[in-house]
Structure 1
Amino acid sequence: MKKLGILTYHEINNFGAQLQAASLRKFCIDCGYECDIINYQPPRSRARIAAHIIRPALKLKTKEYFRNLEARNTFRKSAIELGCINTKALYTTSGVQKISKNYDALICGSDEIWNFGNYLGHQPPFILDFPFDGKKISYAASMGSYNLPTAEKSNFEAALRQFSTILVRDNHTAEAVRGLSLHPKLVLDPTYLVELTEKIVDKENQLILSGEMTEDQLETAKKIAQALNLKIISPGYLYKGLENSYFSATALEWVQHINRSKYHITSLFHGSIFSIKSSTPFVAFMNESKRNKLGFMLEQLKMKERAVEVNNTQQEILSLLTKPFSAQQETIVQDLAKESRNKLTAALAS
């Protein structure tokens, strides 16, 4: 039996990162492989998480400190429960290379692991840029909004030429890879490949909010909830003026709350995905940084109308939010998910 190792974002304070990592691992196990998420934790990531907890304490903001500490402990518990942490923590490329000898194949992805313009900078483990005797595969890797600088193209190309299969999540990433004379294929996010929770048919009379929102967007959400006579909940996301709607949640609990809610207003890529998977009507606030991934996915699934622009009125947003999914849209999701499963299955078997 082949043993697989996955390198991706997995143990950060982000529901989507944990869920995509767990989904990819579950799919590989369901296919009959042994599979670990290699516990690579970039030092900058650890520093950022620590700062989020320590900063309020230094400013004597006791309530914020304990709230952030509770949220961090919940995320940590969630990562362990989802199977995202089952090897020792590694902090260097050399450490990853050493442990990689335990695996027959390595998979990098999903998420924006090739976005080297973010706070983590260039991370060789996320592009498998180290010697390895086995097979190298990417699944649903993304650059996000990052544009590959000319100075980095030769190193990026050299690393990707060692891959047997390159599967990416969005057209922006695909075009960048094609620009290196390589041949990527498009797939859906790994959260589409498997089910992590059971679907809930009976919806509760509530509106769930998730992701960053401006004051105007929050005000619109509150007015919509009032117009529809819905209770607002915001598990894992604290909004000014909606403190009573906030509570701590694990990644799976967050999915279940989306599942049982009547509607969802979000700005998140994975918030949109789990609305689609649970048949919870939603709208997604769009901005330029999300257009390459969230915008592309919604267009790919023929749900572009779910993306809310800054010039949409409250009435337009309300109309879009309450619009049910069509049978055609559900079929498109199912067909693309099946294609994605087949592409990954073929990559693992080749």
Structure 2
Amino acid sequence: MKKIGILTINDYDNYGNRLQNYASQEVLKSLGFSVETVIHKTKKDMKTSSLEKMKNLKGLSVSEISKRFNNKWKKYLYNKKVKDIKPKRLRAFKEFTDTYISETDYYITAEYIPDDLGNKYDYFVTGSDQVWNPTFTDRRYSTIDFLTFAPKEKRISYAASFGVSEIPNEFVEEYTGLISGMNKISVREQAGAEIVKKLTKKNATVLVDPTMMLTKDKWLSISKKPKTKLTRNKYLLTYFLGKQSKVNKKIINEIARKNNLEIINLADVEDKEAFITGPSEFIDFINSASVFCTNSFHGVVFSILLETPFIVFPREGTVMSMNSRIDTLLSTFNLQTRTISNINTNEQVFEMDYTHTKSILEKERKKAINFLKDALQVD
């Protein structure tokens, strides 16, 4: 059986990252390959040793995990509440990875790549997370995400994302060479295809995020009911990356009050029981919610897959790329009305029509499979 090595961001504290990694693996396996994710430690990881310390959490007690905390979470240690619950969250994420994602028992770095790595696999696939984002300083000067250690014919990108609409001038020359070295290129956003075209004159195929390649039943098969009493009642779920504005909080509280809903906040350390849950619980939380309020790309993705009513709030701050990729997703599935600016009545909060999304998903899934079959030379 031919083997594929996935290169992606190894983030044991991000729902979208873990779930896209799993989805990429499963899609590639469905094409008849043996698949594993090659652990890539960046300069930031080397400095904090976060991956090394988190690599073998399976079976450890919460107190033992606490001892392995690194500087990444140092500021939280002064907050007793977070100090007590953060290890539980990290353990949940690592347990998900150990259960569902096949990872290598070794890691590579920009400074250390085994001489025979390029020969260990028949193909290497990079993506689908923001592996090519030039603003990620810990990855910026590593060529690993462009698979330069492997022969060109083995280099494939699967829905890779730049996370930005253009490459800063100081990186244009380097990126032009790196992208030109790829054999088959697919990206996650139209802006990414435009970057590839501008820099290399090559056409990149725009594919949906791999999480959208798996069916609702497939996702529910690895979901897990959270161990929290809150889920006994109807609830409004929130998942916000970054801070919520006072205005948004007021809107959410009013929706919950009018509809007699509990509020569960997945990314808020004050909501302890929700905060410590892993990716499997993330799926169940969204599937069972009466309505989901979020500014997360993967939050919207799973709302569509699980057919849960959702409302998109703008990302606070200056992270325009985050807002634009959600806009692209909403446009693809004709769900532009699900932004908070378009919700004017209480009835609209819950009025969701997903009948048209099935045919769109079918079309996008077929497009992705055709790309991968061509790139991987599958009959």
CA distance in 2, matches of 1:44, 1:56: 19
Aligned-pair CA distance for 1:6:
0.5
- Match in the other structure for 1:139: 158
- SS of residue matched to 1:88: strand
- Match in the other structure for 1:279: 307
Matched, 1:116 2:134: yes
Distance change (3 Å), C-alpha of 1:318 and 1:116: farther
- Match in the other structure for 1:208: 237
Supply the AA of the counterpart residue of 1:277. L
Aligned-pair CA distance for 1:298:
1.0
- Match in the other structure for 1:182: 202
Measured against aligned partners, the alpha-carbon deviations of 1:34-84 in whole angstroms (never above 9, x if no partner) come to: 111111121314639633422233xx3222212222222222222222215
Measured against aligned partners, the alpha-carbon deviations of 1:247-284 in whole angstroms (never above 9, x if no partner) come to: 41111211111112221111110010111000101011
Q: Is the 8 A contact 1:93 1:124 kept in 2?
A: no
CA distance in 2, matches of 1:93, 1:126: 14
CA distance in 2, matches of 1:87, 1:271: 31
Q: Is the 8 A contact 2:220 2:283 kept in 1?
A: no
RMSD: 2.5
CA distance in 1, matches of 2:308, 2:49: 33
Q: Is the 8 A contact 2:117 2:150 kept in 1?
A: no
Aligned-pair CA distance for 1:97:
6.2
- Match in the other structure for 1:302: 334
CA distance in 2, matches of 1:204, 1:266: 20
Q: Is the 8 A contact 2:4 2:34 kept in 1?
A: yes
Q: Which moved more, 1:103-112 or 1:73-82?
A: 73-82
CA distance in 1, matches of 2:38, 2:290: 37
CA distance in 2, matches of 1:278, 1:337: 16
- SS of residue matched to 1:264: strand
CA distance in 2, matches of 1:85, 1:190: 18
Q: Is the 8 A contact 1:39 1:86 kept in 2?
A: yes
- Match in the other structure for 1:246: 274
- Give the TM-score of the pair, scaled to structure 2: 0.81
- SS of residue matched to 1:120: helix
Q: Is the 8 A contact 2:88 2:276 kept in 1?
A: yes
Aligned-pair CA distance for 1:292:
2.7
- Match in the other structure for 1:268: 296
Supply the AA of the counterpart residue of 2:124. L
Aligned-pair CA distance for 1:190:
0.3
Q: Is the 8 A contact 1:10 1:79 kept in 2?
A: no
Supply the AA of the counterpart residue of 1:43. K
Supply the AA of the counterpart residue of 2:264. I
| Residue segments in structure 1 that go unaligned for 5+ positions in a row | none
- Match in the other structure for 1:41: 41
Residues 21-100 of structure 1 mapped to structure 2, 5 A cutoff: 21-45=21-45, 47=48, 50-57=70-77, 60-83=78-101, 85-92=103-110, 94-95=112-113, 98-100=116-118
Matched, 1:160 2:179: yes
CA distance in 2, matches of 1:91, 1:9: 12
| Residue segments in structure 2 that go unaligned for 5+ positions in a row | 51-69, 224-231
Distance change (3 Å), C-alpha of 1:126 and 1:146: farther
Q: Is the 8 A contact 1:11 1:84 kept in 2?
A: no
Supply the AA of the counterpart residue of 2:268. L
